Chain A
């Protein structure tokens, strides 16, 4: 289908999203017809080979008048393109196809919607488009009002690390949705990331850090938190997150090594504090016991990765009966792993495997320690962790610089 030039391109990367995709597609359609009647718009569904009929559902979805409550007809032609992409299935391939489409159509604004995410109403799609469309920002990331004990991978690892190392107070470095300017999409297409091994799962993090490292104007937008579907097991998720961090830190080494300031990021939308979802329920006591066992099993390997004082403190902590929350130890462990990945003292896959029990230990410690604390105290602890990552950053920079 010849689409020609467009102003706004909404990408919908899908893989077996039959349950939610029709509502999302309808929301996008209503957004185009009701809120954006003048710009030239297109929705592109980039499907990774769904077997549940997702592309057919989008193609055949009948957008009845009933779906367009209080809408006017669009003043321009509106396109809906469904395309299976070729190559190895993965988010990187889908995003590359969408970015290439944005460049070909000279789209000013590209929005990528999570087919299983919160954009099931037109308002949610529109609010994601507008700040970029109005040229107020070049990259817009979602921000969720989280319970301080929710999303431990984010709050204990990714958020404080990105804040501390990149010096930008971005809340959700892993969100699936985003909006960006066409210029940012073109920049990303030129980068040597798309075919890297970790790119299949590192793209969400890489996009945000790329925007930071290349000095694009960044913003955040409040989005309603949704109950995330479990894409994988905890161990696989931690492993993938760490590999993503290795990949992005290597990609932006020249930026973060010299970054010294901490920049705040403007936030759009409404922060609905009353709609904070309760923290996910998981057995942190059992997780802690498992982590302790696993760490003891691999202690010989950890000794080769961690600095001797860090290893010694870790072993003391593992042996301690009372839970302690030693932020500095945790930060040093993370930095030692990043350093080890850079030095090549072990393969990154093995490092990621070694890191899994350490994360489990830290997450269980945090949950156990804050179990009976008020939410605001737990939040204060999260902020203190971000500060610790930032304060100890010179250790990472030093280790990264020194050649073995």
Chain B
């Protein structure tokens, strides 16, 4: 089991540690709902150092990524951030990832922990013929997500520069440490993600916690992302699911010729048999991953929404029953629970 740089900090803060993709990670500190609400209302800080990084560098780096990633990498400006899928030839999803353009010929891609080794191999398998270096940077970076309405203000106090706006990234100094500050997140709140040397992570963590950021674990990260309807690889995305049925056609630009583009184009044209929908349970009960939808389909993520107070989730259902407002029946361990297809995201901050 691998230990993140902040392991001792988490244990001291009362975290319950769990194994996740070979790493010992904090799943919760005081309580999931408290951490969830801290992110919705003030500021939470997550250690997501288990996530991997791949650097692609060289004159052919852009062309290689254009081939690998589903989005239009060429359209990403310097300092830009872009979400994309990594697909197989058949359109099955290998991973979903954010890529940051650090320079015209240098990119950093953040991988899901459980997929990192496979992604890296995929990168290297396809790098032949491109004038680009593929570097595994997983050991070089710790990663902190600082999220919530007060997150930017809090991080800004440590910085001598204006923070990178949403969907951009910039290398700068934070509390004396070199940090890549990214205007991204996985909670549906404003905030930043910080990529920094593992040795600097404890100091930056301490500074942010001291200024009021609430340590939050993977459990709250999951309830937050689910309210925001962000996909979780392994739950809502897999090799068996096409980007179109997952509702991710918006980040697939088939004209770029990425691996899997013809398959994605075909599904887009024909319409997928199933679609990933957000739902809320009408009464009591919580649907969970793997619960069947009556008449076809399956729940891929489910939890109790701390903000809405009801069971919510994501499910693949037949396309004819995927419209917002459509009634669903979910078999929750033998009990039929009525649910309704909801608009995404499930939770939206009142303006």
Partners in one complex: no
